[in-house]
Amino acid sequence: MEKFKRLKNEDAEKSLNVVREVFPHLIARNLLHRVSSNLFMASAVVYGFIDGICVVKDIDRKSVKTPQSVERRRS
């Protein structure tokens, strides 16, 4: 019975060591994933904003009679 308890303690110690090694990597990976997702969304917002400004800038104001007649042109 003592041998079994000792084996269980050794297994628990090994498992704890594995968790101590892997856990910081998982936290870092999750943190980097969140940061990269936020940067991607921020760049998409900025790109959309700049794209919207370019569309407004390219409107021929003399040919526009109503706001509904303005159509977005793709280049």
* Beta-carbon contacts of residue 58 (< 8 Å; ≥ 6 apart): 73
Q: What would the pLDDT profile of 14-36 be if each residue is shown by its tens digit? A: 888 888 888 999 999 999 999 99
Give the pLDDT confidence score for residue 34 in this predicted structure.
97
CB 18 within 8 A of CB 25: no
Phi and psi angles of residue 70, each rounded to the nearest 5 degrees, phi first = -80, 120
Q: Output the pTM of the full model.
A: 0.51
Cα separation, 18 vs 49, whole angstroms: 47
With 0-12 / 13-18 / 19 or more C-beta atoms within 10 angstroms meaning exposed / middle / buried, residue 70 is middle
